[in-house]
Structure 1
Amino acid sequence: MFKFQLNAITAVKALVWTAVRRMEVKDVPTPTPQPGWVLMRVRYVGVCGSDVGGFLGKNELRRPPLIMGHEFTGVVEEVGPGVSKDLIGRLFAVNPIIGCGHCRYCRSGLKNLCLMRKIIGIDYPGAYAEYVAVPADNLYPVSDPVRGALAEPLATSMRAVRLSGAGLGDSVLVIGAGPVGALAVKLLSIGGVKDVTVIDINRNRLEWAGRWGASSTLSVTGDEALKSLRETHPEGFDAVIDAVGSEDTRGLAINAVRRGGRVIFVGLHDNEVTIPGNLIVRSEIEIKGSFSYTDEDFLKAVRVLESGLLDPREGWVDIRPLERGQETFEELAGTETKYVKVMFNPGG
């Protein structure tokens, strides 16, 4: 198991999830890289919806006390045994998923499904800190520290869109205009999908979804949402991407898809849910989970960002110090945030 250990650098600042709905800035020992790992000075780290779920006590993989944070860029400052010193001083985005490397899933390029899978920010201390230790094999060079920190959520959206099978001429419903949902809209749009409806109760995020290619947006939920959707798409949507993952949104997704259509569950809000089983059978609805991404997805996300697809400085990303951690998580657990993505800059 990875352990914190004091080294030449003094104890560093970290945002620690200490209890349900409680984030605290604390001094923690600086991690020392084990063989094959590096020590990075964190530049920017995004707040993921799954981290917010953990903050609320609704993510079964996370247990306090924990330093979360798995969407990040950093500069290598120290290398562990067996790692080239040529990496020192270079900027990288980090794939936070660590596989065993030898199971059937890892050998098939599906490290995200590895039975021994570990994740930075869940199983190891994450990047809500000035320094973080990561495997050298998980580094991807990037040129911009803010844009690079979007590689992880973009890769997640990229996989969900690919699994949806949506293409030219299809209609798609995206439930949730947070980072994964909004980025999915962007990817669908540049892929030529013109009929994209987005639902979210946050009108600020819906505005960005509209800018990124949504043909229609709705700020209603439940039965009212389903009624509106059936008025515009009486046969249902060809594909639905649920980027929220609550019982209500998963039920809405199944009821809104057409017969023979496909539903992608990528949100991770509620673990146990009730779904209309007979409707699924009688309508031959295909339901598929989409968890994180493969190494190939992550590489493509980095390449897309390096090409300049997204500009995080347009106003949809807000960057904050770790000291605003409690405030930020309370804000993102609500419905009124102005931003699609919030990032921390641990170094100030």
Structure 2
Amino acid sequence: MKVLVTGVAGFIGFHCAAFLLERGDEVVGIDNINDYYDTSLKLSRLELLTPYPNFRFLKLDFADRAAIKELFATNRFDRVCHLGAQAGVRYSLENPAAYVDSNLVGFGNILEGCRHGEVPHLTYASSSSVYGANTRTPFSVRQSVDHPVSLYAATKKANELMAHSYSHLYRLPTTGLRFFTVYGPWGRPDMSPLIFTRKIIAGEPIDVFNNGDHARDFTYIDDIVEGVIRTVDKIAEPDPEWSSDDPDPSSSSAPWRVYNIGNSRPVELLDFIGEIEKAVGRSAIKVMRPKQPGDVDRTCADVSALEAAVGFQPATPIDVGIGKTVAWFKKYYDIRPGAE
């Protein structure tokens, strides 16, 4: 297949593109290489993709309407895997315009491209953050998600609604994937797994928010990729049992679906830090901090809908995932054992 992967220099986009290339698909990857975090990491990821003869990279911003229109006019895609976005809950408090431009305007451009390009299936990244103020866990795709607690979460919920309108109006098959705290090699340096790893290795103190009273459904990148690719391959279809009298929030009479991808095994934050300490071989200097705006206390994914649809459920244990992540970190940043 010929697959468009957006955010191809990003954490999840890079890994998914590599999987598609390895199995023989043709991948067109786009990314604007913005400086939200260290661009050298993004370029290093791209360096691993460029040797593939079936890979083509275009530096462009999917918020650029004219550029996206031209992209779809000059390419016929069998699938679109939209993994690019302005990420980060906390940064949305500082720069909300970036989220409006990328996650709303940009997603609208992708939908229009898929519509006019008659793309057979659009798969896109949503987020566990859409569950917002919900407290009943595990989070199910059949729960209402109408109370986001950050602008980032609101844009991801909006993406699901925008996709549904296109699925309904134009019969464009779309599938949204709610990712739960993804970590692993080549991960984002602004996220806690790599922040903690870097600071513990360096002997620097780490901030532990909400005094450590957090639990997250940490999900290893290989599991995320497996779920994404299986979903890309399964074109969304209308739910024959969907009823307008009792509407299921996870499906529709249109070819539209949403699924959770999570490990379904929440890990307490202090236990997570403990796994990093074991992998690094050094204790963390912890500084307890209050809860930050936009944070939720606990996440846990009910993945039964994903398992029923594509026969897959994430299962990588936290100690295995952290071990691989820390090993990659040391190799990439050339840190010798015992070095500061």
- Is the strand fraction higher in 1 or 2? 1
- State whether TM-score is above 0.5: no
How high is the TM-score relative to the length of structure 2? 0.26
Higher helix share: 2
